Amino acid sequence: MSCCGAQSALDNCEEIASKNLQSVAEENLLTASHDRGDGTVQTDFTVPDMHCIACIKTIESGLDNLDFVQQARANLSLKRVSVIWQREKGSASQIDRELDRLGFEHMPFDLEDAACADHDTSRRLLLSLAVAGFAAANIMLLSVSMLSPVPSKYC
């Protein structure tokens, strides 16, 4: 076998590995997506580098230029991008590559993971509120006794 044959075999192996990585990435993106029931899929991404209206315009116009994307909306306060696209005309990995091309670091946003995190946060905040309420009630009881008028016979 010549060196050219070895190189073509190496190129073939790299091509197969690249296709396998793309299919794994597509599966990961689809698990973070949900089917809307009308032939479209909604995929949400977290984009931590989005910080101004120009970023929103760049992301939305870049994703809207893809033929299979019906709607792309960026939310600056949540730093999240929601994309509604047609499954039979495109793929989630194409959206992923377009966000890379636009220069924005991103990751798929999974609503179930966020719900678990929100549940933990809510539980912690509720416990903090209970402790603060207990302390406030004790302080109020002490202040009521100090502010009540003292009968003159004890003076």
Which helix (H) or strand (E) is 130 found in, with range?
A: helix 111-147
Q: Report pLDDT digits (tens) over 117-135.
A: 567 778 888 999 999 999 9
For the question of whether the overall pTM of this predicted structure is more than 0.75, the answer is no
Looking at residue 146, its pLDDT comes to: 74
Q: What beta strand segments (E) does 3-148 contain?
A: 33-35, 40-46, 69-75, 80-86, 107-108
Rounded-to-integer distance, Cα 152 and Cα 155, Å: 5
pLDDT tens readout for residues 131-149: 999 999 988 888 877 777 7
Residues of the chain where predicted confidence (pLDDT) is lower than 70: 1-28, 30-31, 110-118, 150-155
Q: How far apart are CA 40 and CA 45, in angstroms?
A: 16
CA distance 45 to 81: 5
SS3 135: helix
